[in-house]
Amino acid sequence: MKLLASVVALRLLAASSGAAPPSPHTVYSPAVAVQWKDRLHEADVQLRAGDWKKGTAMADSTLREMRDRIASGDASGSLLAVALLLRAIGEAGLGDSESAAWDFGAAQALYPDYSRVDLKPFGDVAAMMDPWRYKGGAPSLQHGPIPEGSAPSTEVTPPRKIAGKQPEYPYAKARACIQSPIVVHTVIAEDGKARFPAIDAGADPILALAAFDALRTWRFDAAKRGGKPVQVFFDLTINFKVRHCY
C-alpha cells in the first residue's frame, strides 16, 4: 500500500474538484482543501526525509484546521486519519511514544485500513509503531496477572476521572447545529491514562476527533482489583449538543 500520497490526493481532490459548490454548512473553500492536500503532502515529504519536527508541525496545524472547518462529508474520517497518521509518525521520530501511540490509534479508529499501512519508508519508526497496530479493528487489552492471593472472581473497582479538559465543540459542527453522542472505547491503563481509542462504525469522525482530543488529557484513578491497579476496557459517552438547536 502506498502510504499517503494517493489517499491524500484522491480524498481531498474529490472534495475540492466537483462541480457542486460547497454546502451552506461548509466553512472552507475548494482552494482551502487543495492547500490542505499540499500541506499534508509536504509533511509526508519532510517526515520521509527525517525532519520530524517540521513534518509533525505541518500535520498538526492542518489537522486542527480541518477539525474546526469541516462540517460534514463522507471522506472526512479518512482525511483526518491521514493527518493523524502523519503526526503520529513525526511524534515517534521525536521520541514521544505516548503521543505517537495515541495518534496512530486514533488514525486507525477513523480509517481502519491503517492497521496494515506500510511504514517502512519512514525508517526506524516503523518498528516502534508496529506494536500499536489494532487487531481486528479494535484495541487489544493485555490482561495483567491476577494479584497473588486474589481469586479470579475478585471484583474490579471501575476507573474514576480525576482531571482533564472538557471536549471542545468543533466550530463548523456547532455552526451547522450538528449534534451527536460519541461513544469512545478505550483502555484505561494502570497509570490512569487512556490508551488505544476506538469508535463504532458510523460515528461522526469530526466529533470523534474532538472527543479523542479531550480524552487524551484525562487522568483517572485507575481500576483496581484486590486493591491493586489494573488496566480495563472503558466506554465513555460524550454528548455534543448545541444550545438553541432543535
pLDDT higher than 90, residue 29:
no
Give residue 154's pLDDT: 62
Give residue 6's pLDDT: 40
Give residue 150's pLDDT: 39
Distance CA 177, CA 61 (A): 25
Whether 109 contacts 116, CB under 8 Å = no
β-sheet bridge partners, residue 209: none
In this structure, what C-alpha cell is assigned to residue 78?
Answer: 479518512
Whether 159 contacts 192, CB under 8 Å = yes
What's the Rg (C-alpha) of the chain?
Answer: 19
> H helices then E strands: how many in the chain?
8, 8
Select the more confidently predicted residue: 133 or 135: 133
In which region does residue 194 sit, left (phi positive, over 0), alpha (psi from -120 to 50) or beta (all else)? Answer: beta
| Total-model pTM | 0.84
Least confident of 154-158, 195-199, 201-205: 154-158
Select the more confidently predicted residue: 4 or 73: 73
Give residue 146's pLDDT: 34
CATH for 5-132 is: 1.25.40
Phi and psi torsions of 234, nearest 5°: -145, 130
Quote the percentage of the chain above a pLDDT of 70.
80
pLDDT higher than 90, residue 198:
yes
Select the more confidently predicted residue: 96 or 1: 96
Q: How many CA atoms lie within 13 A of 216 on its CB side?
A: 19
CATH 3.30.2420.10 fits 156-240, yes or no: yes
In this structure, what C-alpha cell is assigned to residue 116?
Answer: 496494515
Quote the percentage of the chain above a pLDDT of 90.
61
Distance CA 6, CA 17 (A): 15
Which band of pLDDT confidence, cut at 50, 70 and 90, is reported for residue 237? very high
pLDDT higher than 70, residue 12:
no
Give residue 75's pLDDT: 80
Check the CA dihedral 14-16-21-25 and report its sign.
Answer: positive
Domain with CATH 3.30.2420.10 in the chain: 156-240
Q: pLDDT, tens digit, for every residue of 40-75?
A: 999 999 999 999 999 999 999 999 999 999 887 768
